[in-house]
Amino acid sequence: MVKRIAWRAATVVEVRAETPSARTLVLDVPEWGGHLPGQHVDIRLTAEDGYQAQRSYSIASAWSAESGRVEVSVQRLADGEVSPYLTDVVETGDQIEVRGPIGGWFVWRQTSTAPVVLVAGGSGVVPLMAMIRARGLAGGRQPFRLIYSVRTPEDALYADELRRRAREDAGLDVHFVYTRKAPDDWPVPPRRLDVAVINSHGWPADFEPDCYVCGPNTFVETVADILVALGHDPKRIRTERFGGA
Amino acid sequence: MSIISRGFGGRRREPSPDLPPGQYLAHDFPVLSAGPTPRIPLDRWHFSIVTETGEKHTWNWAEFTALPAEEFTVDIHCVTKWSKLGTSWKGVSLDTLFEDVETAGDYAMAHSYGGYTTNVPLEDLLDGKAWIAYEYDGEPLHPEHGGPARLLIPHLYFWKSAKWVDGLRMMHEDEPGFWEDAGYHMYGDPWREQRYHGD
């Protein structure tokens, strides 16, 4: 008999603003057995009258037994029910219920030696960041490339950390794509991510990279189609989407 | 005993007795797919049922759409927490497709273009409980939502309703499909909140 994944009372030990509309909650989860980068957790909130709501959030952190912490980064949705509470109300010391880790497909395993292409749209970077951090923590040498599409520079999560990691790690390339407003010194005007960007900043299909694409559905649909058109095996393209079609 | 989330609940969604536990009402139609969307030309589309003895029943698009179809309105529940109530579909009942199929298998593995699989007990496919749907809201089913045709088993979590379905393989024993192998529940009843292994 498989044991049910239990709801655990997690304590918020730190809160970090990532962008004006996204923040990271650092959680201390009792008896957390670790997780793989790309997995998510379910978070459950209970109102005073017993009303409950639960949602899934990607884990942003790499697992290390020393820290024992689980970080989730939450993007505030204007019409959201749970995300505004997590981005605007929760404070250090509060407790929330957490269940996980969940998902065994959209994950990166350190035992894999394949090159990796990561393509993120907006807050879709969160599970990909966990992969970059896990590789960094393990001292992995797998060649990683991240293409990160954001509307404006202010919308990029983890921007400083990504630049630092790319500077310090020859095996990690990070390429930003700005779709509405680029930094003043940026060499190209704002543009949508297209086949040329994926071709120049991903790995060639001949290298047989594992591709992870995460973001809003229309974004993921576009990127996955481009990767297929560039000759990548659809079985090597893993997607995680949010929002409707 | 749950932990009370101080100050939570002010923005709650409208409650509904039709919502299984842990679900919320979605007003759009979210897309959940593990990989790229396959595009299957109708002249190459086919659907087959293969029994545990290897006997194969196959329909091409013309044969399939010539079968008696039903229009039906059902609620759908995705394991990622959204539900959509009163969705309208058109498709062929699995009862119709199984009419001439002789099988002693109690389980079926649904297979899809693109390689997706999911397991379902045969009894959950019969008696008006499941369809191969090819229209949504009066329009041909969009590829992102599983077109040309998808399995539709509304009483189970929506990952059981395999998109781009191309066949059912009958089995004597239950075996995990794609998500079931990745930690999701073997059966997936939303009313019993069977999301993950062990639920």
Parts of chain A with a pLDDT under 70: 1-2, 245
Residues A122, A75 share a domain: no
- What pLDDT does B1 receive? 60
Residues A150, A90 share a domain: no
Instruction: Determine, yes or no, domain membership for A138.
Output: yes
- What pLDDT does B12 receive? 81
Query: Which one, of B149, B136, B151, B148, lies nearest residue B84 by Cα?
Result: B136
**Boundary-marking domain end, from A102, A126, A153:** A102
B28: chain A residues, CB-CB within 8 Å: 243-244
Question: What range does the domain containing A29 cover?
Answer: 8-102
| Contact map slice: B 8-47 vs A, CB within 8 A | 8-9, 11-13, 22, 24, 26, 28-38
CA atoms within 13 A on the CB side of B104: 2
Residues A172, A70 share a domain: no
Parts of chain B with a pLDDT under 70: 1
Give the position of tokens 């790499």.
A62
Instruction: Determine, yes or no, domain membership for A1.
Output: no
Query: Which of B2, B4, B6, B8 best probes binding to A when mutated, by most A CB atoms within 10 angstroms?
Result: B8
Indicate the residue of A80, A97, A217 with minimum beta-carbon distance to B3: A97
CA A39/CA B138 separation, integer angstroms: 37
- What pLDDT does A92 receive? 97
Nearest residue of A to residue B34 by CA position? Answer: A239
**Boundary-marking domain end, from A78, A102, A126:** A102
For Cα atoms A56, A58, A64, give the angle at the middle one, nearest 5 degrees.
130
Instruction: Determine, yes or no, domain membership for A32.
Output: yes
Instruction: Determine, yes or no, domain membership for A146.
Output: yes
At A153-192, the pLDDT tens digits run: 999 999 999 999 999 999 999 999 999 999 999 999 999 9
Alpha helices, DSSP H only, in A90-216?
A: 125-137, 159-168, 195-201
Query: Which one, of A139, A138, A136, A142, lies nearest residue A162 by Cα?
Result: A136
| CB of B7 less than 8 A from some CB of A | yes
CA A233/CA B7 separation, integer angstroms: 48
At A107-131, the pLDDT tens digits run: 999 999 999 999 999 999 999 999 9
Residues A155, A84 share a domain: no
Q: What is this model's ipTM?
A: 0.90
To the nearest whole Å, the CA of A226 is away from the closest chain B CA by 10
Strands (E), B51-98: 56-60, 70-77, 82-93
Indicate the residue of B2, B30, B36 with minimum beta-carbon distance to A237: B36
Q: Cα A154 from chain centroid?
A: 17
Residues A168, A72 share a domain: no
Residues A97, A46 share a domain: yes
What's the token pair of residue A195? Answer: 């086949």
Q: Do A234 and B81 touch (CB under 8 A)?
A: no
| CB of A78 less than 8 A from some CB of B | no
What strands lie across the sheet with B117-121, from one edge to the other? B56-60, B46-50, B165-171, B107-112, B117-121
Topology, domain B24-29+44-188:
Sulfite Oxidase; Chain A, domain 2 (3.90.420)
A6: chain B residues, CB-CB within 8 Å: none
Residues A70, A145 share a domain: no
Query: Which one, of A25, A46, A79, lies nearest residue B7 by Cα?
Result: A46
Instruction: Determine, yes or no, domain membership for A184.
Output: yes
Strand, helix or coil for residue B21? coil
| CB of B117 less than 8 A from some CB of A | no
Instruction: Determine, yes or no, domain membership for A143.
Output: yes
CA A59/CA B121 separation, integer angstroms: 33
| CB of B5 less than 8 A from some CB of A | yes
CA B133/CA B39 separation, integer angstroms: 16
Strand, helix or coil for residue B113? coil
| CB of B140 less than 8 A from some CB of A | no
Instruction: Determine, yes or no, domain membership for A110.
Output: no
To the nearest whole Å, the CA of B56 is away from the closest chain A CA by 26
Strands (E), A68-209: 69-75, 95-102, 116-121, 144-150, 172-178
To the nearest whole Å, the CA of B40 is away from the closest chain A CA by 14
Instruction: Determine, yes or no, domain membership for A54.
Output: yes
Nearest residue of B to residue A9 by CA position? Answer: B3
Query: Which of A220, A222, A236 best probes binding to B when mutated, by most B CB atoms within 10 angstroms?
Result: A220
Q: Do B182 and A103 touch (CB under 8 A)?
A: yes
To the nearest whole Å, the CA of A18 is away from the closest chain B CA by 22
- What pLDDT does B183 receive? 92
To the nearest whole Å, the CA of A183 is away from the closest chain B CA by 32
- What pLDDT does A1 receive? 55
Ranges of each domain in chain B = 24-29+44-188
| Contact map slice: A 100-139 vs B, CB within 8 A | 102-106
- What pLDDT does A245 receive? 61
A50: chain B residues, CB-CB within 8 Å: 2
Q: Strand A144-150 and strand A172-178: pairing?
A: parallel
Indicate the residue of B34, B197, B198 with minimum beta-carbon distance to A238: B34
- CATH code, domain with A34: 2.40.30.10
| Number of compact structural domains in chain A | 2
| CB of A89 less than 8 A from some CB of B | yes
